[in-house]
Amino acid sequence: MKHDIKPTRAWAEEMDQRDGLARFREEFYLKKGSIYLDGNSLGLLSRRAENSLLEMLSSWRERGIDGWTDGKHPWFHLSEQLGAQLAPLVGATPKEVIATGSTTVNLHQLLATFYQPEGKRIKIVADALTFPSDIYAMKSHVKLHGLELAEGLIQVESKDGQVVEEEALIEAMTDEVAIIVLPSVLYRSGQILNMERLTKAAHERGILIGFDLCHSIGAIPHHLSEWGVDFAFWCNYKYVNAGPGSVGGLYVNQRHHGQFPGLAGWFGSAKDVQFDMDHTLQPASHAGAFQIGTPHVLSLAPLLGSLEIFHEAGIDELRKKSLLLTRYLMNLVDTQLADMDFSFGNPLEDTRRGGHICLIHKEAVRICKALKARGVIPDYRAPNVIRLAPMALYTSYIEVWEAVERLKAIMENKEYEGYKKERGVVA
Protein backbone atom coordinates (compact mmCIF):
# COMPACT_ATOMS: atom_id res chain seq x y z
CA MET A 1 0.00 0.00 0.00
CA LYS A 2 1.31 3.44 -0.95
CA HIS A 3 1.02 6.21 1.60
CA ASP A 4 0.78 9.95 1.21
CA ILE A 5 0.09 10.63 4.86
CA LYS A 6 0.78 14.01 6.37
CA PRO A 7 1.00 14.30 10.17
CA THR A 8 -1.30 17.32 10.23
CA ARG A 9 -4.81 18.15 11.41
CA ALA A 10 -5.71 19.31 7.92
CA TRP A 11 -4.89 15.88 6.48
CA ALA A 12 -7.18 14.25 9.07
CA GLU A 13 -10.03 16.61 8.23
CA GLU A 14 -9.63 15.90 4.53
CA MET A 15 -9.58 12.13 5.09
CA ASP A 16 -12.73 12.27 7.21
CA GLN A 17 -14.53 14.09 4.39
CA ARG A 18 -13.39 11.46 1.87
CA ASP A 19 -13.98 8.44 4.14
CA GLY A 20 -16.41 6.01 2.52
CA LEU A 21 -16.87 4.23 5.84
CA ALA A 22 -17.65 7.35 7.88
CA ARG A 23 -21.40 6.68 7.76
CA PHE A 24 -20.97 3.62 10.00
CA ARG A 25 -19.73 5.83 12.83
CA GLU A 26 -23.35 6.90 13.40
CA GLU A 27 -24.24 3.26 14.07
CA PHE A 28 -22.34 3.22 17.35
CA TYR A 29 -22.91 4.66 20.80
CA LEU A 30 -20.00 7.08 21.15
CA LYS A 31 -19.53 9.00 24.38
CA LYS A 32 -19.35 12.74 23.77
CA GLY A 33 -15.89 14.15 24.46
CA SER A 34 -14.35 10.69 24.68
CA ILE A 35 -12.02 9.06 22.14
CA TYR A 36 -12.35 5.29 22.33
CA LEU A 37 -9.16 3.47 21.32
CA ASP A 38 -9.75 0.19 23.16
CA GLY A 39 -11.88 -1.72 20.66
CA ASN A 40 -9.20 -4.40 20.48
CA SER A 41 -10.26 -5.32 24.03
CA LEU A 42 -13.98 -4.58 23.82
CA GLY A 43 -15.76 -3.15 20.83
CA LEU A 44 -18.48 -0.55 21.28
CA LEU A 45 -22.20 -1.21 21.10
CA SER A 46 -23.90 -0.53 17.79
CA ARG A 47 -27.56 0.31 17.46
CA ARG A 48 -28.06 -2.71 15.22
CA ALA A 49 -26.53 -5.06 17.79
CA GLU A 50 -28.78 -3.50 20.43
CA ASN A 51 -31.82 -3.94 18.22
CA SER A 52 -31.09 -7.58 17.44
CA LEU A 53 -30.76 -8.27 21.17
CA LEU A 54 -34.07 -6.52 21.85
CA GLU A 55 -35.69 -8.53 19.06
CA MET A 56 -34.47 -11.74 20.68
CA LEU A 57 -35.85 -10.67 24.05
CA SER A 58 -39.15 -9.93 22.32
CA SER A 59 -39.14 -13.40 20.77
CA TRP A 60 -38.65 -14.93 24.21
CA ARG A 61 -41.39 -12.73 25.69
CA GLU A 62 -43.92 -13.44 22.96
CA ARG A 63 -43.18 -17.05 22.07
CA GLY A 64 -41.72 -18.70 25.14
CA ILE A 65 -40.42 -22.15 24.26
CA ASP A 66 -41.70 -21.84 20.70
CA GLY A 67 -38.84 -19.40 20.08
CA TRP A 68 -36.66 -22.44 19.42
CA THR A 69 -38.49 -23.13 16.16
CA ASP A 70 -40.53 -20.00 15.34
CA GLY A 71 -39.88 -16.34 14.73
CA LYS A 72 -37.47 -14.34 12.62
CA HIS A 73 -34.40 -16.14 13.96
CA PRO A 74 -35.34 -19.53 15.46
CA TRP A 75 -32.94 -20.35 18.26
CA PHE A 76 -32.44 -24.00 17.34
CA HIS A 77 -30.50 -23.11 14.20
CA LEU A 78 -29.10 -19.75 15.36
CA SER A 79 -25.51 -20.95 15.90
CA GLU A 80 -25.38 -22.41 12.41
CA GLN A 81 -26.95 -19.29 10.91
CA LEU A 82 -24.37 -17.06 12.57
CA GLY A 83 -21.57 -19.46 11.64
CA ALA A 84 -22.51 -18.95 8.00
CA GLN A 85 -22.48 -15.17 8.50
CA LEU A 86 -19.07 -15.30 10.24
CA ALA A 87 -17.56 -17.47 7.50
CA PRO A 88 -16.67 -14.59 5.12
CA LEU A 89 -14.68 -12.88 7.89
CA VAL A 90 -12.41 -15.92 8.20
CA GLY A 91 -12.39 -17.03 4.57
CA ALA A 92 -14.29 -20.27 5.04
CA THR A 93 -17.35 -22.07 3.75
CA PRO A 94 -20.51 -21.76 5.88
CA LYS A 95 -20.33 -25.36 7.05
CA GLU A 96 -16.79 -24.88 8.38
CA VAL A 97 -17.79 -22.28 10.98
CA ILE A 98 -20.03 -22.34 14.04
CA ALA A 99 -20.84 -19.60 16.55
CA THR A 100 -20.38 -21.29 19.90
CA GLY A 101 -18.59 -21.32 23.22
CA SER A 102 -15.81 -18.95 24.21
CA THR A 103 -12.19 -18.68 23.15
CA THR A 104 -10.83 -21.02 25.80
CA VAL A 105 -13.74 -23.47 25.76
CA ASN A 106 -13.40 -23.77 21.99
CA LEU A 107 -9.65 -24.32 22.28
CA HIS A 108 -10.28 -27.07 24.84
CA GLN A 109 -12.69 -28.71 22.41
CA LEU A 110 -10.25 -28.50 19.51
CA LEU A 111 -7.33 -29.83 21.55
CA ALA A 112 -9.46 -32.65 22.92
CA THR A 113 -10.33 -33.55 19.31
CA PHE A 114 -7.05 -33.04 17.47
CA TYR A 115 -4.26 -33.39 20.03
CA GLN A 116 -3.69 -37.13 20.07
CA PRO A 117 -0.05 -37.74 21.11
CA GLU A 118 1.23 -41.03 19.77
CA GLY A 119 4.66 -42.56 19.52
CA LYS A 120 7.28 -39.84 19.32
CA ARG A 121 4.76 -37.21 18.15
CA ILE A 122 3.68 -35.92 21.55
CA LYS A 123 4.50 -32.22 21.60
CA ILE A 124 2.43 -29.07 21.24
CA VAL A 125 4.20 -26.02 19.82
CA ALA A 126 3.16 -22.53 20.91
CA ASP A 127 4.89 -19.18 21.11
CA ALA A 128 6.11 -17.62 24.35
CA LEU A 129 4.15 -14.39 23.79
CA THR A 130 0.67 -15.83 23.28
CA PHE A 131 -2.30 -15.00 25.50
CA PRO A 132 -2.06 -16.82 28.85
CA SER A 133 -5.44 -18.56 28.62
CA ASP A 134 -4.30 -20.45 25.52
CA ILE A 135 -1.25 -21.71 27.38
CA TYR A 136 -3.37 -22.76 30.36
CA ALA A 137 -5.52 -24.87 28.03
CA MET A 138 -2.52 -26.45 26.30
CA LYS A 139 -0.89 -27.32 29.61
CA SER A 140 -4.16 -28.91 30.74
CA HIS A 141 -4.20 -31.27 27.77
CA VAL A 142 -0.56 -32.19 28.15
CA LYS A 143 -1.28 -33.17 31.75
CA LEU A 144 -4.47 -35.03 30.80
CA HIS A 145 -2.38 -37.23 28.52
CA GLY A 146 -0.08 -38.06 31.43
CA LEU A 147 2.87 -36.10 30.08
CA GLU A 148 5.24 -33.75 31.85
CA LEU A 149 4.99 -30.15 30.69
CA ALA A 150 8.64 -30.08 29.72
CA GLU A 151 8.16 -32.96 27.29
CA GLY A 152 4.70 -32.03 26.01
CA LEU A 153 4.81 -28.27 25.42
CA ILE A 154 7.33 -26.20 23.47
CA GLN A 155 7.07 -22.41 23.71
CA VAL A 156 9.16 -20.71 21.05
CA GLU A 157 10.90 -17.70 22.57
CA SER A 158 11.04 -14.17 21.17
CA LYS A 159 14.35 -12.42 20.65
CA ASP A 160 13.05 -9.00 21.69
CA GLY A 161 9.98 -9.80 23.78
CA GLN A 162 7.68 -8.16 21.22
CA VAL A 163 7.57 -10.25 18.04
CA VAL A 164 8.08 -13.90 17.14
CA GLU A 165 10.35 -14.97 14.30
CA GLU A 166 8.52 -17.27 11.91
CA GLU A 167 11.78 -19.04 11.12
CA ALA A 168 12.04 -20.03 14.78
CA LEU A 169 8.48 -21.39 14.73
CA ILE A 170 9.25 -23.46 11.64
CA GLU A 171 12.49 -24.69 13.17
CA ALA A 172 10.45 -25.99 16.13
CA MET A 173 8.33 -28.14 13.78
CA THR A 174 10.22 -31.37 14.40
CA ASP A 175 9.04 -34.94 14.00
CA GLU A 176 8.18 -34.93 17.72
CA VAL A 177 5.42 -32.34 17.23
CA ALA A 178 1.77 -33.43 17.03
CA ILE A 179 0.03 -30.06 16.84
CA ILE A 180 0.73 -26.31 16.72
CA VAL A 181 -1.46 -23.55 18.19
CA LEU A 182 -0.51 -19.95 17.43
CA PRO A 183 -2.13 -16.50 17.48
CA SER A 184 -2.93 -14.94 14.12
CA VAL A 185 -2.04 -11.57 15.65
CA LEU A 186 0.01 -11.23 18.84
CA TYR A 187 -2.11 -9.55 21.46
CA ARG A 188 0.59 -7.21 22.79
CA SER A 189 2.59 -6.11 19.76
CA GLY A 190 -0.03 -6.54 17.04
CA GLN A 191 2.32 -8.63 14.88
CA ILE A 192 0.55 -10.64 12.18
CA LEU A 193 1.90 -14.13 11.67
CA ASN A 194 1.94 -15.43 8.11
CA MET A 195 -0.72 -18.10 8.54
CA GLU A 196 -0.43 -19.38 4.99
CA ARG A 197 3.34 -19.88 5.26
CA LEU A 198 3.17 -21.50 8.70
CA THR A 199 0.32 -23.81 7.66
CA LYS A 200 2.25 -24.98 4.60
CA ALA A 201 5.36 -25.62 6.70
CA ALA A 202 3.40 -27.56 9.30
CA HIS A 203 1.63 -29.75 6.76
CA GLU A 204 4.87 -30.50 4.94
CA ARG A 205 6.01 -32.02 8.24
CA GLY A 206 2.79 -33.90 8.97
CA ILE A 207 1.69 -31.54 11.76
CA LEU A 208 -1.79 -30.16 12.43
CA ILE A 209 -1.99 -26.39 12.94
CA GLY A 210 -4.61 -24.04 14.36
CA PHE A 211 -4.85 -20.32 15.09
CA ASP A 212 -6.34 -18.07 17.76
CA LEU A 213 -8.06 -15.30 15.76
CA CYS A 214 -9.14 -13.12 18.70
CA HIS A 215 -7.06 -10.15 17.57
CA SER A 216 -7.61 -10.54 13.85
CA ILE A 217 -11.24 -11.42 13.15
CA GLY A 218 -13.03 -8.28 12.05
CA ALA A 219 -9.71 -6.47 11.62
CA ILE A 220 -7.94 -8.26 8.77
CA PRO A 221 -9.06 -10.53 5.92
CA HIS A 222 -8.46 -14.28 6.29
CA HIS A 223 -8.44 -17.19 3.82
CA LEU A 224 -8.44 -20.15 6.19
CA SER A 225 -9.92 -22.67 3.76
CA GLU A 226 -7.65 -21.62 0.91
CA TRP A 227 -4.60 -21.81 3.20
CA GLY A 228 -5.65 -25.24 4.49
CA VAL A 229 -5.62 -24.27 8.18
CA ASP A 230 -6.85 -27.22 10.25
CA PHE A 231 -8.79 -25.29 12.87
CA ALA A 232 -9.26 -21.85 14.42
CA PHE A 233 -11.11 -20.28 17.33
CA TRP A 234 -11.92 -16.75 18.49
CA CYS A 235 -14.01 -14.34 20.54
CA ASN A 236 -16.47 -11.88 18.98
CA TYR A 237 -16.33 -9.06 21.52
CA LYS A 238 -13.31 -7.17 20.18
CA TYR A 239 -13.33 -5.99 16.56
CA VAL A 240 -16.64 -7.78 15.84
CA ASN A 241 -18.44 -5.68 18.51
CA ALA A 242 -20.79 -8.42 19.76
CA GLY A 243 -20.68 -7.38 23.43
CA PRO A 244 -18.84 -8.34 26.64
CA GLY A 245 -18.56 -12.10 27.00
CA SER A 246 -20.38 -12.68 23.72
CA VAL A 247 -20.43 -16.14 22.19
CA GLY A 248 -17.24 -17.00 20.30
CA GLY A 249 -16.63 -19.02 17.17
CA LEU A 250 -14.64 -21.90 15.78
CA TYR A 251 -13.58 -23.12 12.37
CA VAL A 252 -12.80 -26.70 11.38
CA ASN A 253 -11.54 -27.41 7.87
CA GLN A 254 -13.99 -29.57 5.96
CA ARG A 255 -11.45 -32.37 5.54
CA HIS A 256 -11.84 -32.99 9.29
CA HIS A 257 -15.62 -33.11 9.22
CA GLY A 258 -16.78 -36.47 10.44
CA GLN A 259 -14.13 -36.64 13.15
CA PHE A 260 -15.80 -37.35 16.47
CA PRO A 261 -15.60 -34.35 18.85
CA GLY A 262 -13.24 -34.79 21.76
CA LEU A 263 -15.75 -33.16 24.13
CA ALA A 264 -19.17 -34.43 23.08
CA GLY A 265 -22.40 -32.63 23.91
CA TRP A 266 -25.96 -32.78 22.70
CA PHE A 267 -25.86 -29.62 20.59
CA GLY A 268 -23.17 -31.28 18.51
CA SER A 269 -25.86 -33.68 17.29
CA ALA A 270 -27.21 -33.85 13.79
CA LYS A 271 -30.28 -31.62 14.09
CA ASP A 272 -32.75 -34.13 12.71
CA VAL A 273 -31.99 -36.69 15.43
CA GLN A 274 -31.04 -34.46 18.37
CA PHE A 275 -34.40 -34.85 20.07
CA ASP A 276 -34.45 -38.62 19.62
CA MET A 277 -32.63 -38.53 22.98
CA ASP A 278 -30.51 -41.52 22.05
CA HIS A 279 -27.48 -42.11 24.28
CA THR A 280 -25.26 -42.61 21.24
CA LEU A 281 -24.27 -39.29 19.70
CA GLN A 282 -24.69 -38.86 15.96
CA PRO A 283 -22.54 -35.78 15.32
CA ALA A 284 -23.47 -33.13 12.79
CA SER A 285 -21.69 -33.50 9.47
CA HIS A 286 -20.15 -30.01 9.70
CA ALA A 287 -18.48 -27.70 12.21
CA GLY A 288 -21.64 -27.76 14.29
CA ALA A 289 -20.48 -31.14 15.59
CA PHE A 290 -18.01 -29.32 17.83
CA GLN A 291 -20.68 -27.51 19.82
CA ILE A 292 -21.12 -28.78 23.35
CA GLY A 293 -24.07 -27.34 25.28
CA THR A 294 -27.20 -25.34 24.59
CA PRO A 295 -26.34 -22.04 22.88
CA HIS A 296 -26.48 -18.82 24.87
CA VAL A 297 -29.17 -17.25 22.74
CA LEU A 298 -29.14 -13.78 24.30
CA SER A 299 -25.35 -13.59 23.93
CA LEU A 300 -25.59 -14.71 20.31
CA ALA A 301 -28.22 -12.11 19.45
CA PRO A 302 -25.98 -9.00 19.16
CA LEU A 303 -23.93 -10.79 16.51
CA LEU A 304 -26.90 -10.67 14.16
CA GLY A 305 -26.89 -6.89 14.06
CA SER A 306 -23.13 -6.48 14.24
CA LEU A 307 -22.45 -8.78 11.31
CA GLU A 308 -24.91 -6.87 9.13
CA ILE A 309 -22.59 -3.87 9.43
CA PHE A 310 -19.51 -5.91 8.53
CA HIS A 311 -21.13 -7.34 5.44
CA GLU A 312 -22.17 -3.86 4.30
CA ALA A 313 -18.77 -2.29 5.01
CA GLY A 314 -16.63 -5.15 3.64
CA ILE A 315 -13.58 -6.50 5.42
CA ASP A 316 -11.20 -5.40 2.66
CA GLU A 317 -12.34 -1.77 2.94
CA LEU A 318 -12.15 -1.95 6.72
CA ARG A 319 -8.59 -3.21 6.50
CA LYS A 320 -7.57 -0.39 4.14
CA LYS A 321 -8.90 2.25 6.52
CA SER A 322 -7.42 0.51 9.57
CA LEU A 323 -3.96 0.58 8.00
CA LEU A 324 -4.31 4.27 7.19
CA LEU A 325 -5.44 5.05 10.73
CA THR A 326 -2.59 3.17 12.36
CA ARG A 327 -0.02 4.57 9.92
CA TYR A 328 -1.29 8.09 10.61
CA LEU A 329 -1.11 7.43 14.35
CA MET A 330 2.48 6.23 14.06
CA ASN A 331 3.43 9.27 11.97
CA LEU A 332 1.94 11.56 14.60
CA VAL A 333 3.85 9.79 17.37
CA ASP A 334 7.07 10.17 15.38
CA THR A 335 6.55 13.88 14.75
CA GLN A 336 4.59 15.12 17.77
CA LEU A 337 6.11 12.97 20.51
CA ALA A 338 9.74 12.97 19.44
CA ASP A 339 12.24 12.88 22.32
CA MET A 340 9.57 11.74 24.79
CA ASP A 341 10.97 8.19 25.11
CA PHE A 342 8.23 6.40 23.18
CA SER A 343 9.06 3.45 20.93
CA PHE A 344 6.97 1.07 18.82
CA GLY A 345 6.60 -2.56 19.82
CA ASN A 346 4.45 -3.31 16.77
CA PRO A 347 5.82 -4.07 13.30
CA LEU A 348 6.03 -0.97 11.14
CA GLU A 349 5.24 -2.77 7.86
CA ASP A 350 1.56 -2.85 6.89
CA THR A 351 1.72 -6.52 5.96
CA ARG A 352 2.90 -7.48 9.45
CA ARG A 353 0.76 -5.15 11.59
CA GLY A 354 -2.71 -5.93 12.90
CA GLY A 355 -5.33 -3.43 14.01
CA HIS A 356 -3.60 -1.77 16.95
CA ILE A 357 -0.45 0.14 17.80
CA CYS A 358 1.86 -0.95 20.61
CA LEU A 359 3.54 2.05 22.24
CA ILE A 360 6.28 1.28 24.73
CA HIS A 361 7.13 3.67 27.56
CA LYS A 362 8.51 3.09 31.06
CA GLU A 363 5.62 5.17 32.48
CA ALA A 364 2.94 3.34 30.49
CA VAL A 365 0.64 2.57 33.42
CA ARG A 366 0.57 6.17 34.64
CA ILE A 367 0.25 7.55 31.11
CA CYS A 368 -2.80 5.36 30.51
CA LYS A 369 -4.44 6.74 33.66
CA ALA A 370 -3.71 10.28 32.54
CA LEU A 371 -5.12 9.56 29.08
CA LYS A 372 -8.36 8.29 30.59
CA ALA A 373 -8.62 11.43 32.69
CA ARG A 374 -8.37 13.42 29.45
CA GLY A 375 -11.07 11.33 27.76
CA VAL A 376 -8.86 9.03 25.68
CA ILE A 377 -9.54 5.35 26.35
CA PRO A 378 -6.36 3.27 25.82
CA ASP A 379 -5.38 -0.22 26.92
CA TYR A 380 -2.48 -1.03 29.25
CA ARG A 381 -0.42 -4.22 29.25
CA ALA A 382 2.23 -4.74 31.91
CA PRO A 383 4.89 -3.71 32.31
CA ASN A 384 5.31 -0.95 29.69
CA VAL A 385 2.79 -1.23 26.83
CA ILE A 386 0.09 1.23 25.77
CA ARG A 387 -2.15 -0.31 23.13
CA LEU A 388 -4.08 2.11 20.91
CA ALA A 389 -6.63 0.75 18.45
CA PRO A 390 -8.35 3.20 16.11
CA MET A 391 -11.34 1.25 14.80
CA ALA A 392 -12.22 1.51 11.12
CA LEU A 393 -15.97 1.41 11.80
CA TYR A 394 -16.17 4.21 14.32
CA THR A 395 -12.88 6.09 14.82
CA SER A 396 -12.38 9.27 12.81
CA TYR A 397 -9.04 10.54 11.61
CA ILE A 398 -9.51 13.75 13.56
CA GLU A 399 -9.93 11.69 16.73
CA VAL A 400 -6.53 10.14 16.12
CA TRP A 401 -5.06 13.64 15.78
CA GLU A 402 -6.80 14.81 18.95
CA ALA A 403 -5.72 11.73 20.93
CA VAL A 404 -2.07 12.38 20.14
CA GLU A 405 -2.48 16.06 21.00
CA ARG A 406 -3.84 15.09 24.41
CA LEU A 407 -1.01 12.61 24.90
CA LYS A 408 1.49 15.31 23.97
CA ALA A 409 0.04 17.64 26.59
CA ILE A 410 0.21 14.90 29.20
CA MET A 411 3.88 14.37 28.50
CA GLU A 412 4.80 18.06 28.30
CA ASN A 413 2.99 18.85 31.54
CA LYS A 414 4.10 15.61 33.21
CA GLU A 415 0.47 14.98 34.18
CA TYR A 416 1.15 11.25 34.55
CA GLU A 417 3.21 11.97 37.66
CA GLY A 418 -0.04 12.61 39.52
CA TYR A 419 -0.98 8.93 39.32
CA LYS A 420 0.23 5.84 41.15
CA LYS A 421 2.53 3.54 39.21
CA GLU A 422 0.32 0.47 39.60
CA ARG A 423 -2.29 -1.07 37.37
CA GLY A 424 -5.91 -1.58 38.27
CA VAL A 425 -7.34 -5.03 38.93
CA VAL A 426 -8.58 -5.08 35.35
CA ALA A 427 -6.13 -3.66 32.81
Annotated binding site for pyridoxal 5'-phosphate: 103-104, 131-134, 212, 215, 237, 266, 294
Distance between CA atoms of residues 424 and 381, nearest Å: 11
Buried b (16+ CB within 10 A) or exposed e, 238-261: bbbbbbeebbbbbbbbeebbeeeb
Reduce the DSSP state of residue 345 to 3 states and report it: coil
How many degrees, rounded to 5, is the angle at CA 293 between CA 287 and CA 295?
80
Q: Which entry of 321, 369, 381, 387 is annotated as an active-site residue?
A: 387
Listed in sequence order, the residues at least 6 apart from 61 whose beta carbon sits closer than 8 Å to its beta carbon are: none
To 10 degrees, what angle do helices 315-336 and 9-18 make?
Answer: 170
CA distances from 267 to 67, 87, 355 (A): 17, 20, 34
Q: Which entry of 231, 237, 290, 394 is annotated as an active-site residue?
A: 237
DSSP-derived letter for residue 218 is: T
DSSP H helical segments within 160-279, as ranges? 166-171, 195-204, 224-227
Distance between CA atoms of residues 295 and 306, nearest Å: 18
Catalytic site includes residue 237:
yes
Q: Which entry of 38, 127, 212, 379 is annotated as an active-site residue?
A: 212
Catalytic site includes residue 212:
yes
DSSP-derived letter for residue 22 is: G
What is the CA 177 to chain-centroid distance, rounded? Answer: 26
Q: Which of 406, 372, 405 is nearest to 38 (CA)?
A: 372
Q: Which entry of 19, 25, 131, 408 is annotated as an active-site residue?
A: 131
Catalytic site includes residue 387:
yes
Chain length of the chain: 427
Binding residues: 103-104, 131-134, 212, 215, 237, 266, 294
Distance between CA atoms of residues 129 and 132, nearest Å: 8
Q: Which entry of 48, 123, 238, 319 is annotated as an active-site residue?
A: 238
Instruction: Report, as residue numbers or ranges, the catalytic residues.
Output: 131, 212, 237-238, 387
